[in-house]
Amino acid sequence: MKKTKPRVLVVDDEESLVETLTVLLKREGFGVISALSGHEAIDKLDDKPDVVLTDIRMPKVSGIDVLAEARERHPDVPVVLMTAQASLRSAIDAVNAGAFYYVQKPFTNDELLAILRKAADFGNLKSENRTLRREIRKRDGSTGWRPIGQCRNFLEALSVAETVAPTESTVLIHGESGTGKEVLARFIHGLSERAENSFLSINCGALPESLLESELFGHVRGSFTGAVKDKQGLFVAANGGTLFLDEVGEMVPATQVRLLHVLQNSEVIPVGATEPVQVDVRIIAATNADLEEKIRHGAFRSDLFYRLNVIAIPLPPLRDRRDDIPLLAENFLTNFAGGRDKAPKGLADEALQALMEYDWPGNVRELENALERAVAMVHGSEIDRDALPRRVIERQPTPLVSGETPVNPPLEVIERAYIEWVLRAEGGNKTRAAEVLGIDPSTLYRKLARFDNNGKD
């Protein structure tokens, strides 16, 4: 809850004025933080005042400099500028720079107090409005913006995302292809302080090395064949916002080095350039690979991994959250109908049962595509089982390990049998099974998927 006693950071190089204003403001119920220089004021912005009252003309660090720093660190905090040398030009410049108000010395006590009370109320409302918008975004699942699900393992991932969203921490999302890693990344961005700025994404495995570096870091004209003009990279384009790096494990070592430089120094060097460009970008990365295994094989840098893996969020595959299938199906059908201004189609019981029994190797993306196809194929109001893709309705569940054991079983057969035994012992909970096996959950998911695919051969 917002403090009932607003605190004002009073900044002026005239010590007598600062003392006078401190007495006045405290008598009127304000808390006061004082600073006798612009440099000291910038340090005291860390005390998070509710209002900044600063003189414009100060040596070395001016009131405009304090204003700029306050706007950068605490955009909801209003700044009131004061000067004894008022002019229309300086007033316009102050307002354009983001000042809440501009007051000319000498001023009356009543005039100043009225301005500061308005500023405190304005800052309070602005902060509450930002918080309210964040809460609405968090709770409003009807727009499709909030990830949908109620299974425990999915809600655990969502809870971590909600907790870290307001921070600046780098996030690494683990999950199979199609589990909704970008959806979760957009959710984190939408709940962050950067929500009003850009969210940009790139699939690091979809582009060759040279093109990926140009897309991420930009390039200067003539840096390579075809570079006919300067190009702004995604890091610069996303400045102030969030950049989502999908399949980050597919980066080649040279690009990994450049990315590590950005994370360490908050600057990019465009391809072919010599001067760095400062950037302020939050990184959310995602992978369906076991990066620790890649590190062991020398395919991924350990120092980059630790920079990216500040907050790790494992996203479960759809087969491990089957109870969410009806919710997801309903949401997709509603969205498809919205595009046609018609009532959403329903699912026959047999169709829903088939959806629940299928393993969904393509996860949520495959479910969405299957239902979109069914909506296009069915003319009535209900989707029956036969409208679903053949692979869904003809899927026959197969045991992870067959009952026939060869005399000299291959290592994979032994591994499958042991994993099956641990899964049964843990009641099918893959997270706990991975802990017992001493491997990362994403490694277990990949092993199970490989066993499943081998069983189809």
Share of the chain above pLDDT 90, in %: 48
Q: Is residue 404 part of a domain?
A: no
The answer to whether residues 311 and 443 belong to one domain is: no
Residue pair 216/233 in contact by the 8 Å Cβ criterion: yes
Question: Which range, 19-33, 134-148, 206-220, is most confident?
Answer: 19-33
The answer to whether residues 212 and 83 belong to one domain is: no
Residue where a domain stops, chosen among 291, 316, 341: 316
State residue 90's pLDDT score: 65
Cα-trace Rg, the chain? 29
Q: What is the DSSP letter of 287?
A: E
State residue 144's pLDDT score: 40
State residue 1's pLDDT score: 41
Instruction: For residue 109, give the CATH number of its domain.
Output: 3.40.50.2300
The answer to whether residues 104 and 221 belong to one domain is: no
Q: Is residue 312 part of a domain?
A: yes
Express each pLDDT in 243-293 by its tens digit: 999 999 999 999 999 999 999 999 998 888 788 889 999 999 999 999 999
The answer to whether residues 428 and 384 belong to one domain is: no
Residue 352 CB contacts under 8 Å (≥ 6 apart), including other chains: 325, 326, 329
Q: Which domain holds residue 57?
A: 7-134
- The structure tokens listed for 346 are 């329903």
The answer to whether residues 371 and 438 belong to one domain is: no
Residue where a domain stops, chosen among 364, 393, 422: 393
The answer to whether residues 297 and 167 belong to one domain is: yes
The answer to whether residues 175 and 304 belong to one domain is: yes
pLDDT, mean of residues 143-169: 86
Q: Is residue 377 part of a domain?
A: yes
The answer to whether residues 156 and 180 belong to one domain is: yes
Report long-range pairs for 96-102 (Cβ below 8 Å, ≥24 apart): 97/64, 97/67, 97/68, 97/71, 98/67, 98/68, 98/71, 99/67, 100/51
Q: Is residue 63 part of a domain?
A: yes
Q: Is residue 400 part of a domain?
A: no
> Which of 430, 426, 400 is CA-nearest to residue 413?
400
Express each pLDDT in 380-439 by its tens digit: 889 999 999 998 988 654 454 555 555 566 777 788 888 888 887 777 777 778 878 888
Q: Is residue 104 part of a domain?
A: yes
The answer to whether residues 122 and 173 belong to one domain is: no
Residue pair 239/232 in contact by the 8 Å Cβ criterion: no
Task: Kindly tell me the sign of the dihedral angle through the C-alpha atoms of 103, 107, 110, 112.
Answer: positive
The answer to whether residues 147 and 200 belong to one domain is: yes
Task: Report whether pLDDT(142) > 50.
Answer: no
Count up the domains in the chain and report the number. 4
Residue where a domain stops, chosen among 286, 316, 346: 316
- The structure tokens listed for 61 are 């660090």
Residue pair 233/255 in contact by the 8 Å Cβ criterion: no
Q: Is residue 401 part of a domain?
A: no
Residue pair 272/227 in contact by the 8 Å Cβ criterion: yes
The answer to whether residues 179 and 301 belong to one domain is: yes
Instruction: For residue 197, give the CATH number of its domain.
Output: 3.40.50.300
The answer to whether residues 323 and 311 belong to one domain is: no
Q: How far is CA 364 from CA 70, 249, 328, in A?
A: 43, 21, 8
Residue 19 CB contacts under 8 Å (≥ 6 apart), including other chains: none
- The structure tokens listed for 370 are 């299957």
- Return the minimum-mean-pLDDT range out of 136-140, 246-250, 341-345: 136-140
Q: Is residue 406 part of a domain?
A: no
> Which of 148, 106, 437, 71 is CA-nearest to residue 318?
148
Q: Report the Cα 260 to chain-centroid distance in Å.
A: 19
More confident residue, 200 or 345: 200
Instruction: For residue 357, give the CATH number of its domain.
Output: 1.10.8.60
Instruction: For residue 422, give the CATH number of its domain.
Output: 1.10.10.60
Express each pLDDT in 210-246 by its tens digit: 789 888 998 787 666 666 678 888 999 999 999 999 9
